[in-house]
Structure 1
């Protein structure tokens, strides 16, 4: 086993936020599930990662019960389920030790927050010497407000602000930042060897 699929933060916490209605792909769990099925068929390791913010009272606080995978994603016995408190999947989890013990040299990245937890994990994995495949359409993100934008705005106000970065721009920027530097950027259909669906 030299390859691992990382399914990062595809969790209920995000669906509990008002911003979920602006997510770039509400079907991201189904795309992650296709990658999981393919990885299992290839006898690759599947690693599940969940983001937690203990004691905060937010949707990422395990006490509220939302730190769980979205429906349709079901770890099998022997598939590690890690919890993290950092943006990347390595720093607070022991992921690197796990991958080393399993002889993994390549990681495939999917998950929620394309430019945040997914991209940060891909960059760090590359720096650690892993071959990285970033499955862009198996990641999802939300529009990003300008740093000077007032807090507490509605989704409509966020979208109406010309300074807001739209999801397509974020996805494109991540692809440009990673491709040829930190990762091979690809799509689900290319990974699983199926025709792309429209």
Structure 2
């Protein structure tokens, strides 16, 4: 395989996942963000593209079918103008880095992401962020279907626990889904070791 032109996707690293009162609180969000920051620093040092992706809605009316299957209606956040959509304080923000706003799970759906990737000459996406099993996995699957190579950095993604699944179980399930057909699943340390 020829050398890949990679772009780091920092997906939905927003305060809704770092606020203890939130229904989407991720207990180990600090460790996840620490790993994301290591990758941001590496990509910045190597001059590789970084793209921040933010999930945001103007109202519940622009969310399509996203929240149809969650049972009773949740106060989930992501509304424009609320603190929930701001980036997590610990996240390293690099000036003049493109930001893509999304309104669906996949960062490709209805956004400018593919245009930005083409402008950057990227043929491989390196997936990080929140939530492991929704936005990160959906983006990885759609990236694969659009013929991008996918590297999924498992410990640089996070998700709130589900009633029957711990965060670690969620990661294992997503890793199994991705690695058997959609991309390479590796850790932050493995990725850094392969790219220094």
Aligned pairs, number: 176
Asked if the contact 2:16/2:25 (under 8 Å) is kept, the reply is no
**Is 1:89 aligned to 2:83, yes or no?**
no
Deviations 1:32-89 (A, max 9, x none): 1111001111211000001112224852112223312111324333310111101011
TM-score (norm: length of structure 1): 0.81
Instruction: Say whether residues 1:121 and 2:125 are aligned partners.
Output: no
2:191 and 2:107 map into 1 onto residues whose CA distance is 21
Match of 2:51 in 1: 47
Cα distance in structure 2, aligned partners of 1:15 and 1:77: 22
Question: After alignment, is 58-67 or 92-101 more displaced?
Answer: 58-67
TM-score by length of 2: 0.82
- In structure 1, C-alpha distance between the alignment counterparts of 2:41 and 2:192, rounded to whole Å: 9
Pair 1:134 & 2:138 matched: no
Mapped partners of 2:48, 2:16: distance in 1: 27
Measured in 1, the distance between the counterparts of 2:98 and 2:26 equals 30
Q: Distance in 1 between matches of 2:118 and 2:124?
A: 11
Deviation at 1:21, TM superposition (A): 5.2
Contact 2:17 2:29 in 1 (8 A): no
Q: Which is greater in Rg?
A: 1
Task: Give deviations 1:122-171, integer Å, cap 9, x for gaps.
Answer: 010011011100000000111223xxxxxxxxxxxxxxxxxx12222111
Structure 2: stretches of 5+ with no match in the other structure = 61-74
**Structure-2 separation of matches of 1:34 and 1:45:** 14
Checking the alignment, whether the CA contact within 8 Å between 2:101 and 2:111 is kept in structure 1 is yes
Secondary structure of 1:5's aligned partner: strand
